[in-house]
Amino acid sequence: MEGQRLTGAAIRAAGLVNAVAGICVGIAYVLHPHMGTPDVIVGGFWFSIHLLFAVSLLGGVFGAIGIFARHSSRTRWSGLAGMVLVVTALIMIFGLNYWEALINPVVAAEAPEFVEIYGAGEGIGLVALVFPLSGAMFVVGYILLCLDVARAGTLPLGAAWLTIAGVVVFGSGLSGFLPMFVVQIGSVIFALGLVWLGLALWRLPPAGA
């Protein structure tokens, strides 16, 4: 019984963390500078935005695990696959965010011509392949996870579908073929879905209670 209470408390805490992650990703993308020029990257605002990204990415990892754990007894392979894809993608993206926040500002100050060629780092070597791959995993993972949530009925149906709509628009914008305002709109929709899922998870009693 004590173990069940601890597990339930951990899952509820993951929901709260997921809501915080949603708020952070929404704010970060709405305020993100449109151009990653050397003078922008060396500024303190660039670091602050990517600190929000870091919180959203780490929070998303724990949130996805908590969402999956809440209905794990009712899940299918797609739900497990979705959770694994989300967690893996967020960890991969965290690596690029680490570069953007802590390393690229130094590079921009010392070798601005490097930043003018490669930007924030998405086009460097294998990153040019890994970054879009992680983005695809991110989108597919959240779709699978939220479809599983919708099927199991353990969290609000509207929250699951809002998150799916948000991640599709968000991911489409991040493809680079659409203007920045599409990314911002998608990030807000996605953020609202994460917050709704997170708060719903936080407010629910432990499974089986």
Domain presence at residue 72: yes
- CA–CA dist 57, 69 (Å, integer): 18
Domain presence at residue 40: yes
The number of folded domains in the chain is 1
Q: For the stretch 54-68, what's the b/e string if a residue is b when 16 or more beta carbons lie within 10 angstroms of its beta carbon?
A: bbbbbbbbbbbbbbb
Write out the residue range of the structural domain in which residue 134 sits.
2-203
pLDDT at 169: 95
Domain presence at residue 209: no
pLDDT at 150: 93
State how far Cα 127 lies from the chain centre. 18
Domain presence at residue 208: no
Q: Is the pTM of this model over 0.95?
A: no
pLDDT at 136: 94
Residues of the chain with pLDDT under 50: 1-3, 207-209
Task: Write the pLDDT tens digit of every residue in 18-65.
Answer: 999 999 999 999 998 877 788 888 888 989 999 999 999 999 999 999
pLDDT at 209: 45
pLDDT at 4: 59
